[in-house]
Structure 1
């Protein structure tokens, strides 16, 4: 009986939900006006050190949590933003997300991450969620290149910054890398090694990045006296499996016709191409040279190391977040560092490129 009697009060306590403390409760406990608590919470107005201490002590004692949405509407400062990305399995996309998170965290901003698997309907759905949840802005890393209705509405409201992507015909703030120059440099490196039979594994043709990289390859080929229209091109989806499929289609031809080098529009497809070469018994770079783009950490761990174009996904994400926050609150003035919207690219030569074993 005694044990049962002891359990009853505990059950009563856990079944009750204490009311959420309000700013008026904090003011009452601290013995100050509600406006004084507001000054402390929003770091505005003049409050003496002694009064500030009383207010912060009352906030801790009551476990008071300010209404961030209401505070944001009043002050015009961001409190939460969204990031839409294709996935995080690709280390480059993960690096972009990490850069966004770093910048958001430094500004005490909540980041809501949504992944779409490059499907337009998910891009539209999450754009709608960002709008419905009244997030302050959106950083968009497209996987489909499609412009959905919900995304267009956010763009028209000035709440979107693109990462490593542009939408033709629309003036949308974007942070990009010099994809064209990087592609031209890596293709030039392959051509300088003596390759003339080239195969290209391009990215999704509807994406601006893929178009820019393909343009860079074509410029390098034309500069070397090779007709770009005569070079075989297959398009993948930036995933490893598509690189394997495309490489097999390009390489499964008579040896005299086989490309001696493959230009791949990202590292994941290049790694797929390297795996395909091994399955086919082709040596890298003895029989086939392979290059990628992005310089993800796995590139230097491949055997041989993958020649690639380095771009910093982390720097792109960080810059995109800072640019978005400046657009949301242009009068903040705390972040005075320049935002570089056109990030550099760097050729990283490794062992996956060598001179061709057979001249045309």
Structure 2
């Protein structure tokens, strides 16, 4: 890429108009203090140079927040799209705008976006951390940027958080499958460095242990390289290759479940009689599939809305909010439409 063009500064405008920087500032902020002739000359220079004032710097000087940032794992995932909409709706009510980015589960990419937000004067951020380590977010908080952890409980007191009880969600899915007679479950999960994935694994295993099953025997956990339909397809192919094949699949999200259903259909494995499938998130398409998907519903819009609430709260004291998920039963486990 060619080097970026240097941004036109207020000093450039002053030189072009033949006035002081202070005069240009007055034209921008207090035009009544400038004579009409001088104001016209400055406005002409602004037009010629295509000058755009640095709004973030002005906001910082005024001590106000008008822009907030959010970093999610993957904005293409409908779960995070819905969460982002909840954030945006709340910020819009308050007259603020949203800068949104995806970390792709990469800590380095997350850190890069956070630096970019900070450089642009964003004074509040909501983050789905890519790893358990939130030291960099505590450092950001200590530099005066308000931080809210999104979709995970905070491991430290100083950072506010909004999360869903993922252990309870996975436990509800496990209990449902056990009630249907499934005693061996494949879990297509993400890496345990992502807190949600670790919690869902723990909830699944705890539910099986409570029901008298040995989790090490009853659970086949497969770590997906990508938490999307392609990852779900690859993981399901691994499950189908097992000699002692589980009779049910729990998927880390609905995108992975979509890939699982696609793979089972291609392999002529009927759902649910040949393999029951449970997703997670209950995004909009889950109920519209050819085989409607049983899924653990998360309150996505409320999650984002509440995170923005905490970011904008007058009280700077940290606050921690946990929502409860809900299992929505459909044909992919019961065969009933």
TM superposition score category, shorter chain reference: 0.7 to 0.9
Seen in structure 2, the aligned counterparts of structure 1 residues 24 and 155 have a Cα distance that, compared at 3 Å, is: closer
Aligned to 1:240: 229
Within-5 A mapping of 1:113-262: 113-142=100-129, 144-145=130-131, 147=133, 150-157=136-143, 159-166=146-153, 168=155, 171-230=158-217, 231-236=219-224, 237-254=226-243, 257-262=244-249
CA RMSD of aligned residues (A): 2.7
Pair 1:330 & 2:319 matched: no
Describe the SS at the equivalent of 1:78.
Answer: coil
The whole-number CA distance in structure 1 between the counterparts of 2:134 and 2:169 is: 30
State the Cα distance separating 1:207 from its structure 2 match: 0.9
The whole-number CA distance in structure 1 between the counterparts of 2:222 and 2:154 is: 23
Check conservation: 2:294, 2:333, Cα contact below 8 A: yes
Aligned to 1:111: 98
Check conservation: 1:124, 1:151, Cα contact below 8 A: no
Check conservation: 2:124, 2:147, Cα contact below 8 A: yes
Within-5 A mapping of 1:1-360: 21-26=27-32, 69-70=57-58, 73-74=61-62, 76-142=63-129, 144-145=130-131, 147=133, 150-157=136-143, 159-166=146-153, 168=155, 171-230=158-217, 231-236=219-224, 237-254=226-243, 257-326=244-313, 329-330=314-315, 341-354=321-334
The whole-number CA distance in structure 2 between the counterparts of 1:324 and 1:343 is: 17
The whole-number CA distance in structure 2 between the counterparts of 1:149 and 1:219 is: 29
Describe the SS at the equivalent of 1:111.
Answer: strand
TM-score w.r.t. structure 2 length? 0.79
Per-residue CA deviation, residues 244-295 of structure 1 (Å, 9 max, x unaligned), is 11111112234xx211101112111111111111111100001000001100
The whole-number CA distance in structure 1 between the counterparts of 2:126 and 2:247 is: 40
Unaligned regions of 5+ residues in structure 1, if any? Answer: 1-15, 30-64, 332-338, 356-360
User: Which structure has greater strand proportion?
Assistant: 2
Larger radius of gyration: 1
Seen in structure 2, the aligned counterparts of structure 1 residues 170 and 269 have a Cα distance that, compared at 3 Å, is: farther
Seen in structure 2, the aligned counterparts of structure 1 residues 220 and 148 have a Cα distance that, compared at 3 Å, is: closer
Per-residue CA deviation, residues 207-258 of structure 1 (Å, 9 max, x unaligned), is 111111111111111122111112211012321111111111112234xx21
